[in-house]
Amino acid sequence: MKSKTPTNEGRFAYEGLDRVIHERARLSVLTSLITHPKGLTFNELKQLCSLTDGNLSRHLSVLEKDAMVEILKGHDRNRPQTVCRITAAGRKRYLEYLETLEQVVRDAAKGAEEAAALVRHLNPSRA
Amino acid sequence: MDDLHKALGDISSIRRQVARSTEFRGYGPATLAATGVFALAAAGVQTVWVQNPSLQLGRYLTLWIATAVLSATLTGVQMYTRSRRMHSSMSDEMIRMAVEQFLPAVGAGLLLTIVLTQATPAAAWMVPGLWQVIFSLGIFSSCRFLPRPIFAAGAWYLLTGLCCIGLGGGRSLSPWAMAIPFGAGQFLVAGILFFSAKESGDEV
């Protein structure tokens, strides 16, 4: 069947909502890392995102596999330290994701405003 | 509805935070080098059109302010188009921050020129040196969002500004007192941006 409004086709597809980023914990990790471009230690990241060691490791390995973060192992005052940093590719993908997310919320806000206006129109006495 | 507006506010706030930690790439090296050429050309015009700048202060100011306006317009237009390409969704935020950092220096330079030429014309010879000092302050305040070596360009303008004031009297109104600092300075800025863009794999 042919669509009645071909210009609206795929309007709500939101293909920029990257599945890898969309998971809540990974979104927290990436948001923390993008606002700290010099990187964060594993423990700092764990605290900022309220994650357990195991959970954070699992999500970091998913992001590392997708080349969105880099994990650098080193030493600080003779203690082993792991520093996580967002990569240029990760930064680009995150910003694209953010743009799409903003569009989702804008569309939802516009829909809600239109619905509210319709209700006011149907019930003028309650407006 | 409130939740949706709050969500939009949160997204804007994340974008602002990201913009604050991002190096600004809106200044094009070729454009900034062109503004250096404008400074050299203006000095050439001054040697012919303003032969005695101490007595032709109006002409001197017209020439250099016109050069500054032309350079600022070219830089502004290119900054707008280049930021759209380099920073995409963050470009408005990045441009706003870049302008916020440099605008106080431009405003101070303009007001200082008005005050010196209108209230104390005898001290107008200080204008070129003070322009350079103020320009250096604009660069220093933009350093945080530009490649680190840009600090050297700020230091250059500060040094030339102080030397220009040190020259004193009519000599500081010589065409070279503007051509050398701004010509070489803008080439220095362009060179720094060119090599840092190459290092980070950006367009130059």
pLDDT band at A127, cuts 50/70/90?
very low
Higher local confidence (pLDDT), B203 or B76? B76
pLDDT at B66: 97
pLDDT exceeds cutoff 50 at B29: yes
pLDDT at A35: 86
In terms of Cα–Cα distance, which of B162, B161, B204, B167 is closest to B182? B161
Higher local confidence (pLDDT), B113 or A6? B113
What residues does each domain of chain B span? Answer: 29-199
In terms of Cα–Cα distance, which of B126, B118, B203 is closest to B168? B126
A6 domain-assigned:
no
Higher local confidence (pLDDT), B186 or B54? B186
The residue in chain A having the minimum alpha-carbon distance to the alpha carbon of residue B91 is A95
Q: Where are the alpha helices (DSSP H) in B88-126?
A: 91-118
Q: At residue B80, what is the residue type?
A: Y
pLDDT band at A1, cuts 50/70/90?
very low
Could you tell me what percent of chain B has a pLDDT over 90?
A: 74
Assigned token pair, B151: 């600090």
Q: What is the average pLDDT across A67-78?
A: 91
A7 domain-assigned:
no
pLDDT at A111: 84
Give the CA radius of gyration of chain B.
Answer: 19
Check CB contact under 8 Å for A35 and B7.
no
- Interface size A-B, in CB pairs within 8 Å, comes to 40
Q: At residue A45, what is the residue type?
A: L
What is the 8-class DSSP label of residue B173? G
Residue A75 CB contacts under 8 Å (≥ 6 apart), including other chains: A81
| Chain A residues whose beta carbon lies within 8 Å of the beta carbon of residue B4 | 105, 108-109, 112
Q: What is the extent of the structural domain holding A80?
A: 18-126
Q: What is the average pLDDT across B3-20?
A: 87
Residue A95 CB contacts under 8 Å (≥ 6 apart), including other chains: B18, B88, B89, B90
Residue A65, judged by CB atoms within 10 A of its CB (0-12, 13-18, 19+), counts as: exposed
Domain count, chain A: 1
What is the rounded distance in angstroms from the CA atom of residue B126 to the CA atom of residue B120? Answer: 11
| Chain A residues whose beta carbon lies within 8 Å of the beta carbon of residue B1 | 109, 112-113, 116
The CATH number of whichever domain residue A51 belongs to comes to 1.10.10.10
In terms of Cα–Cα distance, which of B174, B171, B66, B172 is closest to B129? B172
pLDDT at A124: 66
Q: What is the average pLDDT across B158-163?
A: 97
Residue A92 CB contacts under 8 Å (≥ 6 apart), including other chains: none
Could you tell me what percent of chain A has a pLDDT over 90?
A: 51
What is the rounded distance in angstroms from the CA atom of residue B191 to the CA atom of residue B185? Answer: 10
ipTM value for the complex: 0.72
pLDDT at A125: 60
Best mutation target, A17, A35, A91, to test chain B (most B CBs within 10 A): A35
pLDDT at A6: 57
pLDDT at A2: 47
| Cβ–Cβ under 8 Å, residues B11 and B19 | no
Read off the pTM: 0.80
pLDDT exceeds cutoff 50 at A46: yes
Higher local confidence (pLDDT), A7 or B184? B184
The pLDDT mean for chain B works out to 92
Check CB contact under 8 Å for A112 and B5.
no
pLDDT exceeds cutoff 90 at B165: yes
Q: What is the average pLDDT across B52-80?
A: 95
Please give the angle made by the CA atoms of B77, B80 and B81, to the nearest 5 degrees. 90
pLDDT band at B17, cuts 50/70/90?
confident
What is the residue whose two structure tokens read 């940093």?
A85
From B93's Cα to the closest Cα of chain A, the distance in A is 13
pLDDT at A72: 94
CA atoms in the 13 A half-sphere facing the CB of B87: 26
pLDDT exceeds cutoff 70 at B115: yes
Residue B134 backbone phi and psi in degrees, to 5: -70, -40
In this structure, the number of other CB atoms found within 10 A of the CB of residue A93 comes to: 20
Check CB contact under 8 Å for B8 and A99.
no
Closest partner CB to A108 (pick from B4, B18, B90) = B4
Best mutation target, A30, A33, A91, A95, to test chain B (most B CBs within 10 A): A95
Check CB contact under 8 Å for A35 and B22.
no
From A99's Cα to the closest Cα of chain B, the distance in A is 7
pLDDT at B204: 46
